[in-house]
Amino acid sequence: MGPPSSSGFYVSRTVALVVAALAAALLLALTVLASLYGHCERVSPSEQRGRKVQDAASPPPHSQEATPDPRNAQEPAVTTTWKDWRPPGPWDQQRLPSWLVPLHYDLELWPRLRPGQLLARCLNFTGRVNITVRCAVATARVLLHSLFLDLDAAEVHGPLNFATANATVGRVPVDSVWFVLDTEYAVLELGEALQPGGLYELQLCFSGPVLPDTREGLFLNVYTDQGERRALIASHMEPTFARNVFPCFDEPALKATFNITIIHHPLYVALSNTPQLGQSEKVDTDGNQWTVTTFHTTPPMPTYLVALAICDFDYVNRTERGKEIRIWARKDAIANGNADFALNITGPIFSFLEDLFNISYPLPKTDIIALPVFDERAMENWGLLVFDESLLLLQPSDELTEKKTVISYTVSHEIGHQWFGNLVTMNWWNNIWLNEGFASYFEFGVTNYFNPKLPGNEIFYSNFLYGVFREDHALVSRAVSLKVENFTETSEIMNLFDLFTYHKGASMARMLSSFLNERLFISALKSYLEAFSYSNAEQDDLWRHFQMAIDDQSEILLPASVKSIMDSWTYQSGFPVITLNVSTGIMKQEPFYLEKNENQTLLTHNSTWIVPILWMKNGITQSLVWLDKSKKVFPEMQLSDSDNDWVILNLNMSGYYRVNYDKLGWMKLSQQLQRDPKAIPVMHRLQLLDDAFSLSKNNYIEIETALDLTKYLAEEDEIIVWHEVLVNLVTRDHVSDVNNYDLYPLLKKYLLKRLSSVWNIYSTIIRENMAALRENYLALISLEKLFGAACWLGLEDCLQLSRQLFREWMSHPENEIPYLIKNVIQCYGIALGSDEEWDFLLNFYMNTTNEDERIHLTYALSCSKDPWILNRFLEYAITTAPSTFNETNVIETVAASEVGRYIAKDFLVNNWQAVSTRYGAHSLVTLVYIIGRSISTDEQMTELQQFFNNMLEEQQRITVHAKLQTIKNENLKNKKKSARIAEWLQKNT
């Protein structure tokens, strides 16, 4: 979210007095207009141009009124105006000045949510916050964050005298208050300076919106429970949304304690970070009764962890080590037992981490709430964790899926944050990986502890390494940790919550643990957590505590300091390719590039990594070695002429790098796989294939080297290894080229001959006992790819099974197709069927409101091989009501199918005006790319451009031409690669 360029305008006390008389008349007019348009019409960034501030007496904490009484005003109201100019000053800086340090917040919030009320575009809330601050530098200005809030009153009291229990304190005049939208500040101009060392209290009254279409600050969830439409309010403050809810010092290093009060309807329950302290009643000016719920004081914490919820949910609870755990969810979900699984794992996870770190969880309770919709998936607020219900609640139908494991990982991740993030918080967002990377690392450690049968290394690869390796490379601009702190806009900070922070960050922690040992790793983390409890830390603080652990022992020797080793990874983008020549023992490192060329390394990268090399020789684990230079000789890694001599680097893929070998090294590994594949652990069969195909794709080795590794596959019964093969050989590029090359029949013959063994295992399970897969996580995440590839390759048993299961579903729709293979069955049920199957699925589509389900059904409906059916589908897309089909999605999906690309092209010629009228000409650009994805000649490109020229505007033509040229070049490379694959298959089939 980027604020607009308009900013606040400075208003001095002298000017304010001159303006006051004119302001009175203007305020009267504005009041009338406000009553007509309502508060909700003024909250967007582009619309906010004026705020009113009254220098009025602020009510005492927990008073009967949350907003000031104008009758108590002692000075005239100060009206600020908004212009494009303001004097230069600290409000132009992106970080708060160090003048004031917040110590404590008394925060009261009153959202006006009532059961059964008409849910309009937004609701309002009012609030009051008293912030105790320590003055570090004398200042006559106060800067704090505030965004989209109307500030109704502002006072400053102090210096405070706690020795006399604040019986009498002074008052600092507030001359004016103004706002700076682009840096999101409220500025209080004071009549006298605050003094260093003094304690002061800022007293602010404010109001703002609760919006239903965002998850920033306070937001609304509208949902159905027990057959009724209901609503709740929840909060999400990370990273910078606390300022949307209350004026505050909204930076992670500015920790403070909080006393929170929530005013809510008596039929709702209010939740916050800490246990309820007490309740009272109050009546508003309209005679409506409200409940005032107060909560105990929080530990010191950043503003982004402040949390609240107002709802009429039910809960299940248990006690763990004397502390209550409650899971809150819709009443239907609680009654159906959907929260029981999460409840049963939460307590043991807390206990495990308490014992691991020898640091008790500091709060006496934990509430976990399952929201019907929460776009951020989950949030670790201290004492009130917030989840999207899809990641917390277990449906009975989920028993045969990987859902239990997903819930376990997600809950473990958020509980891990209670130590990494909540107890110890990074100083600034450039080190957010200290929160997310370690929480991600421990989610796997915790889940594997409670589920020891889970293949942890393979799951870490499939869930983390697989994805981030495909995004990371030497030219990407994103390192795990950023040395600079000069980014502060919310959009910039939000961009840090990505694969690099979570997945690469977890990989950094895993690699660190692997070259130390688990005992030393945990010992250093304990020391770090103890030293910075309730405080903040930087990356160097973490490395210092690891170095202390290293220095206190003599067993582990490192080639450099922990800081030097780890900085070489966290401050550099990309990762290295480690190449071993098994004839000479020479090992070298170079940056990994997408589509490497000869001069790239010299021109763009001159750094090296300090690389830990865990390795095995002939199946026996060897001692750790280090590659701390660009090149180094390891005589122990030389191989003899013996057929049984082989070596594999990067044990369990614990290091964040890819491994390459010379031709002899790859050949010996290929021969060992054909001779005795089980001598190489499954993790390393997976690793060899992943590294080889990735390196061949990016010009490090020949594609034939990767293909040689697949010769043994008739003996491979591990589905996760097959998954790796199929994602590299059964690709969209190869599917697109089916009609143009001899590749498909060769690939079909080669793979089906080797696929039969693993297919027979899983087809039998599908037919006889799907429950057998309940605990097989790798099968659960790989089965769809195996099933889909088998059917695409034309395996008759797969096609027959698809027909059978689809027809059984048609006969008994209440018996759903097994979730794991549902998409494949629906697609091939349509592809192999007639209009009867298609009409059945269309009717199913029309009767579901689940958007994700509709996306899958759209794909299945486009699998038809009958041109007239696909034409009819496209006709439906533009003739039915807009809410029935997203026609651009339908057209794009049909255009992406093997038969549909030609149908969609002709359909657009005949119906472009209808498509354009409903969705605009811009939708055509995406369709051009989809339809043109198989072009490989200038003639084809010219034909496609001429075809679309009349439909495109000039700028779109230029954009499309450049994109099509890129597609053509990419396709030419793919065709060359496909030709080489076909040639290899011809020799080896």
Dump pLDDT digits (tens) for 287-308: 999 999 999 999 999 999 999 9
3-state helix, strand, coil in the chain (%, to 5): 45, 20, 35
* Nearest alpha carbon to residue 571 among 486, 521, 504, 660: 504
Inform me whether the pLDDT recorded for 23 exceeds 60: no
Average pLDDT rounded to a whole number, residues 207-224: 89
Q: Point out the least confidently predicted range of 10-14, 518-522, 799-803, 903-907.
A: 10-14
pLDDT score of 45 more than 50 = no
pLDDT-derived band at 598, boundaries 50, 70, 90 = low
Q: What's residue 77's pLDDT?
A: 41
| pLDDT > 80? residue 15 | no
The backbone torsions φ and ψ at residue 152, rounded to the nearest 5 degrees and listed phi first, read: -95, -20
pLDDT tier, 122 (very low <50, low <70, confident <90, very high otherwise):
low
- The whole-number average pLDDT for the span 379-400 is 90
| 294-303, 306-315, 398-407, 495-504: least confidently modelled range | 398-407
Which whole number is the average pLDDT over 900-915?
82
Give the residues across from 232 on adjacent strands: 221
Catalytic residues: 414
Contacts 24+ apart (CB under 8 A), 456-463: 457/652, 457/653, 457/683, 458/682, 458/683, 458/686, 458/720, 458/778, 459/777, 459/778, 460/506, 460/510, 460/653, 461/653, 461/683, 461/686, 461/687, 461/690, 462/720, 462/778, 462/781, 463/409
pLDDT confidence tier of residue 741, bands split at 50, 70 and 90: low
Q: Over range 596-609, report the average pLDDT.
A: 65
For residue 145, the surrounding DSSP H or E stretch is: strand 139-145
pLDDT band at residue 118 using 50, 70 and 90 as cut-offs: low
Q: Which residue has the higher pLDDT, 620 or 977?
A: 620
Annotated binding residue 436: yes
pLDDT tens across 465-496, in order?
Answer: 999 999 999 888 789 998 877 666 788 899 99
In this predicted structure, which of 284-293, 361-370, 396-405, 880-889 has the lowest mean pLDDT? 880-889
The whole-chain average pLDDT of the chain stands at 86
139: phi then psi, degrees, rounded to nearest 5: -155, 140
Of 476, 388, 487, 479, nearest to 437 by C-alpha is 479
Predicted confidence band of residue 676 (pLDDT cuts 50, 70, 90): very high
**pLDDT number for residue 44:** 32
CA 631, distance to chain mean position in Å, is 37
Task: Say what the pLDDT of residue 931 is.
Answer: 78
CA-based Rg of the chain, rounded to a whole angstrom? 32
Range with the poorest average pLDDT among 153-167, 174-188, 772-786: 153-167
pLDDT band at 71 (very low <50, low <70, confident <90, very high): very low
Q: How many whole angstroms separate alpha carbon 301 and alpha carbon 381?
A: 10
pLDDT beyond 70 at 320: yes
Is 16 a residue whose pLDDT tops 50? no
Residue that wins the pLDDT comparison between 386 and 738: 386
Provide mean pLDDT across the span 892-915: 83
Task: Determine the average pLDDT of the residues in 748-753.
Answer: 95
pLDDT mean over 635-660: 95
Among residues 238, 244, 240, the alpha carbon closest in space to that of 218 is found at: 244
Give the pLDDT band (50/70/90) at residue 849. confident
Q: What average pLDDT score do residues 542-558 get? A: 96
Residue with tokens 């009228």: 917
* 217 phi, psi to nearest 5 deg: 75, -130
The predicted-structure confidence for 89-102, as pLDDT tens digits, reads as follows 999 888 999 999 99
| The predicted structure's pLDDT at residue 39 | 34
Q: Greater confidence, 856 or 909?
A: 856
**Would you state the pLDDT for residue 641?**
85
Whole-angstrom distance, CA of residue 392 vs CA of residue 548 = 39
Confidence grade of residue 787 (pLDDT, cut at 50, 70, 90): very high
Q: Is the model more confident about 54 or about 299?
A: 299
Evaluate if residue 814 carries a pLDDT over 90. Answer: no
User: 417 a known binding residue?
Assistant: yes
Does residue 913 surpass a pLDDT of 90?
no
Which pLDDT score is estimated for 169? 75
Q: What is the pLDDT of residues 139-170, one digit of tens each?
A: 999 999 999 999 999 999 999 986 655 545 78
Higher pLDDT, 63 or 654: 654
Residue 743 is predicted with a pLDDT of: 86
pLDDT grade for 770, boundaries at 50, 70 and 90: confident
* 926 has pLDDT over 80: no
Q: What is the pLDDT of residues 935-984, one digit of tens each?
A: 778 887 888 777 777 777 788 888 888 888 888 888 888 888 888 999 99
Q: Per the annotation, does 264 bind a ligand?
A: no
* pLDDT at residue 542 tops 50: yes
Alpha-carbon gap, residue 21 to 77, rounded angstroms: 10
Task: State yes or no: pLDDT of 367 exceeds 50.
Answer: yes
d(CA 153, CA 79) in angstroms, rounded, equals 12
Average pLDDT of span 432-451 = 95
Residue whose token pair is 């067993």 = 555
pTM for the whole structure: 0.88
pLDDT (0 to 100) of residue 255: 98
Residue 2 — pLDDT band, cuts 50, 70, 90? very low
- Tell me the mean pLDDT in the region 617-640: 96
Q: Residue 239, preceding bond cis, omega within 30 degrees?
A: yes
Give CA–CA dist 569/479, Å, rounded: 8
SS (H, E, C) 414-462: HHHCCCECCCEEECCHHHCHHHHHHHHHHHHHHHHHHCCCCCHHHHHHH
pLDDT band at 665 (very low <50, low <70, confident <90, very high): very high
**pLDDT of 10 higher than 90:** no
